[in-house]
Amino acid sequence: MRIVIAEDSVLLRDGLTRLLTAEGHEVTGLATADELVAALGPEAELPEIVVTDVRMPPTHTDEGLRAALHLRSLHPELPILVLSQYVEQRYARELFAGRVRGLGYLLKDRVADVEDFLEALGRVAGGGTVIDPEVVAQLLVRSERSGLDSLSPREREVLALMAEGRSNSAIAERLFVSLAAVEKHVTSILTKLDLPPDDDQHRRVLAVLRWLGHQ
């Protein structure tokens, strides 16, 4: 798999490059958001996935996120995994405000768990959606007085896993319950939150995030 990494920290960029190269991937490392945008212009040969930091030179605010949004406007199908040092709710909501296929948002601490990181990378590259559990948790806490208090503790667990982009079967496996139980919880959640049921996992994630973002 061809991967482009945009990260101004030499240690992290080189560490990711070594890790992914050892896994058999072809990696190109870039130090700035401007380099990322220049490398993946309208006529560029696209990689299978882009991994980029949120905060990059010169201002270290949101250059990486802006680059990601720009690239998605040029190449709507380009998978992008965004890394962040902290939970930045505004940036997470902005990133997922449009098409969510092939998008991910992870905290950098998650990279320390190699298996989790590689799983997330593969899921996003394959068109899936990945949202860091800590981001989901903070959004849920922020919104708990705006309707989520009607959910049972188990439904809140299921909702958090839904927002991470997990399928019903994956949720059942994670919670050690039956698939039928998860389907029942999902139906109840969507009913309580006034969100119409949908079989498309990506639209389901988008609906949850939009609901949370308007609280």
Q: Out of 135-139, 147-151, 159-163, 197-201, which region has the weakest mean confidence (pLDDT)? A: 197-201
Task: Give percent helix, percent strand, percent coil of the chain, each to the nearest 5.
Answer: 55, 15, 35
Are 62 and 55 in contact, with CB atoms under 8 Å apart? yes
DSSP string for 152-200 = -HHHHHHHHHHHTT--HHHHHHHHT--HHHHHHHHHHHHHHTT----S-
Q: Which amino acid is at 15?
A: G
Dihedral pair phi/psi, residue 54, rounded to 5°: -75, -50
Query: What's the DSSP call for residue 75?
Result: -
Average pLDDT over residues 42-49: 94
Query: What's the DSSP call for residue 57?
Result: T
Average pLDDT over residues 24-52: 95
Query: pLDDT of 70-115, one tens digit each?
Result: 999 999 999 999 998 877 777 777 777 777 789 898 988 888 889 8
> Considering the chain, what is the average pLDDT of its residues?
83
Query: pLDDT of 162-197, one tens digit each?
Result: 877 678 898 999 999 999 999 999 888 877 776 655
How many helices and strands in the chain, by DSSP H and E? 10, 6
